[in-house]
Amino acid sequence: MDLGRQTRVRQAFDTFFAPPEPAAGSHVLELFRRTAETVPAYRDFLRTHGIAPEDVATIDDFRKLPLVDKAGYHRKYPLPELCRGGSFDGNDMIAVSSGSSGHPTIWPRALEDELHVAGRFEQVLVDGFHADRKRTLAVVCFPLGTWVGGLFTTACVRHLAAKGCPITVVAPGNNKAEILRVLPELAPHFEQVVLLGYPPFVKDVVDTGLAEGVDWPAYAIKLVLAGEVFSEQWRDLVAQRAGVADPVTDIASLYGTADAGVLGTETPVSVGIRRFFADHPDLAREVFGDARLPTLVQYDPASRFFEVHDGTLVFTADGGIPLIRYHIADDGGVLPHAELLDYCARHGFTPPPGPALPFVYVFGRSLFTVSFFGANVYPENVTVGLEQPGISDTVTGKFVIESVEDADRDRRLRITVETAPGASSDAGRIAESVRAQLVRLNSEFAHYVPAERQLPDVVLRPAGDPEYFPAGVKHRYTRPS
């Protein structure tokens, strides 16, 4: 029996239940020192780089520390040595990354980590959806199992209920039939229903429910989404179909990862700003440095400390495996709160009110692109083409981008699209719509790709196609050449 663990858990609950207090500026340095003292792998990592922990005294010193990543740190050491004390003691759950980079990774965690991340869910469910005073049914639609999404989300939302919020959780996972079976039974007993899941799956649930006669507006639907960048056209489309009252306040995306749980959350202010940039792509390029529209979230520096390295994100966070200057390899950047709001004001836009927290924007992993004539083709651009009127009703939103060789070994851009059940799609119309959005949103595509090669080859496949859209696995929007 580990009595020290009992003490740590009690302290974690006391902190979780107490009103939030501003963290001291030394938070990151304290985490570094504690990690250097208690984590064998990190001690050795510093030693091999010739760094004495006592020499890291300022935040400028901290910013000079070498980055850690999966290949050079996590996979280099035995798992127990990555944890405090060199053992799994105190870590009561294991999560496994989705393997989207090709190699699944194991992440131990403890209940204390869940309580810490529950604060991010509180920001969405309580501050945004008023779940502290509305009877709320939270429907966890993330896959259940070793993946971080389902079980971690279920635990964090239950912790909010333990804190006193009138929240009840049901966790059918990504079983669409079970979701639609339990909803009509449970939803009438609550003032609002929150669906939590990956964007394309939640959209599929909504669309299937409509086809089966589900009265979504009667349930006062709210959505919590994670895992993928989506367009503002997508947000509006799903809001309209699900009867969501206000897409700005009632749909929130999380920036989450198996590595450290939730890193940041959409708020009404971040959503409002993102929608402003969606209507002003030239301003978006100026701020984000890219033709794509990223996910824009706010984060708490006392919980997750962000930095930028060569256009990719680095964060520091405590957890079952403490991570110091961890290079997650997501393309993105950081924007101070006052700076971004001042920029919007100078261009005539005032966003809704929200917390005075800094922003982090995320494009996703650079490996989720296809290179075509030297231009990076991003799934986010193709998505907008599929969400146009007359097309969105005939497709599910899933697709696969490939750069393929034809018989003459010329490169062709092929997009395989999943058609909606019972719908008839027009491949030619889809191709024209996607080309128009690629040219509009992607300056590389418009300028690098010869005009005669800009029209993609669109291939239609039925819903659930086993080769391109198999059920029960995380969908990938690109395939290597």
- What pLDDT, in 10s, does the model give residues 373-408? 777 888 988 999 999 999 999 999 999 999 887 876
* Six-digit token string for 377: 């083709």
Q: What percent of the chain has pLDDT over 70?
A: 95
pLDDT band for 409, please (50, 70, 90 cuts).
low
Which tens digits make up the pLDDT trace of 198-222? Answer: 887 898 899 999 999 999 999 999 9
Mean model confidence pLDDT for the chain: 91
Task: For residues 273-295, give the mean pLDDT.
Answer: 92
Task: For residues 349-364, give the mean pLDDT.
Answer: 92
* Six-digit token string for 481: 């050449």
Total residues belonging to the chain: 481
Residue 24 has pLDDT above 50, yes or no: no
Residue 368 has pLDDT above 50, yes or no: yes
* Six-digit token string for 45: 């990592």
* 241 vs 259: CA distance, rounded Å: 33
pLDDT band for 367, please (50, 70, 90 cuts).
low
If one compares 408 and 439, the residue with the highest pLDDT of the two is 439
SS3 labels along the chain: CCHHHHHHHHHHHHHHHCCCCCCCCCHHHHHHHHHHHHCHHHHHHHHHCCCCHHHCCCHHHHCCCCCECHHHHHCCCCHHHHCHHHCCCCCCEEEECCCCCCCCCEEEECHHHHHHHHHHHHHHHHHHCCCCCCCEEEEECCCCCCCHHHHHHHHHHHHHHHCCCCEEEECCCCCHHHHHHHHHHHHHHCCEEEEEECHHHHHHHHHHHHHCCCCHHHHCEEEEEECCCCCHHHHHHHHHHHCCCCHHHHEEEEEEECCCEEEEECCHHHHHHHHHHHCCHHHHHHHHCCCCCCEEEECCCCCCEEEEECCEEEEEECCCCCEEEEEEEEEEEEECHHHHHHHHHHCCCCCCCCCCCCEEEEEEECCCCEEECCEEECHHHHHHHHCCCCCHHHEEEEEEEEEEECCCCCEEEEEEEEECCCCCCCHHHHHHHHHHHHHHHCHHHHHHCCHHHCCCEEEEECCCCCCCCCCCCCCCCECCC
Torsion, Cα 293 299 303 307, to 10 degrees, reads 50
pTM tops 0.85, yes or no:
no
Residue 449 has pLDDT above 50, yes or no: yes
Residues in contact with 313: Cβ distance below 8 Å, sequence separation at least 6, in sequence order: 306, 307, 327, 328, 329, 330, 331, 332, 333, 334, 360, 362
pLDDT of residue 3: 62
Residue 461 has pLDDT above 80, yes or no: yes
Packing angle of the helix pair 176-186, 199-211 (nearest 10 deg)? 60
* Six-digit token string for 222: 């709210």
pLDDT band for 160, please (50, 70, 90 cuts).
very high
* Six-digit token string for 318: 């405590």
Task: For residues 133-157, give the mean pLDDT.
Answer: 92
Q: Picking from 152-166, 227-241, 314-328, 454-468, which range would have the lowest pLDDT averaged per residue?
A: 227-241
